[in-house]
Amino acid sequence: MRLAALALLSLGACAAPEVDLTDAGTVVHAYTSVSFADTPEARAHGLVGHAPLGPDEAMMLDYPVVDQACITNADVEFPITAIYIDSSGGIVAAESLAAHDARIPCHDGVLRVLETDASGASAAANATEVILR
């Protein structure tokens, strides 16, 4: 089954724990304001209509099973970084998506996707895992 999510903040998304990007146990970047989208509707709505994310804000798209995750930013007014995460918290990939970017990058073996502001690409490049606390 192919899981697809639009990188578009769900009005019904619930608060999530804080999220750290780490490398060998060292925190590279901490996200302290994280929304959690864990239903098909919340994942599909994503960041559509949301104000631009700040450097410590993110949305975590949580899928029920490990599968292929596909993200688009077609209906979002600001650039994002999508960080694809496997079931052990390892970073599978990171994709930079411009505002209104209609591309749909997909990655296999994904359980979660962390959507951050555009500066998240730099943090993801220096991290190996994502930890929810």
Instruction: List, in order of start, the domains of the chain with CATH numbers.
Output: 2-132 (2.60.120.1140)
Q: Residues of the chain with pLDDT > 90: what percent?
A: 86
Is the pLDDT at 14 greater than 90, yes or no? Answer: no
What is the SS3 assignment for 124?
A: helix
> Does residue 29 carry a pLDDT above 50?
yes
pLDDT (mean) for 46-50: 96
**Residue 115 neighbours by CB distance under 10 Å:** 29
Q: Are 1 and 26 in contact (CB under 8 A)?
A: no
Q: Cα–Cα distance between 3 and 68 in angstroms, integer?
A: 6
At residue 91, does pLDDT exceed 60? yes
Going by C-alpha positions, the residue among 72, 17, 16 that lies closest to residue 45 is 72
Report the pLDDT value the prediction gives residue 6, as an integer from 0 to 100.
31
Q: Which of 73, 67, 68, 6 is nearest to 37 (CA)?
A: 6
More confident residue, 14 or 91: 91
pLDDT at 127 over 90: yes
Residues 6+ positions from 116 with CB-CB distance below 8 Å: 31, 53, 57, 58, 80, 81, 83, 123, 124
Mean pLDDT of the chain: 89
At 15, the pLDDT band (50, 70, 90 cuts) reads low
Please give the model's pTM, rounded to 2 decimal places: 0.87
Q: What is the pLDDT of residue 5?
A: 32
Once rounded to an integer, what is the mean pLDDT over residues 89-112?
A: 97
Burial 37-57 (b: 16+ CB within 10 A, else e): bbeeebbebbbbebeebeeeb
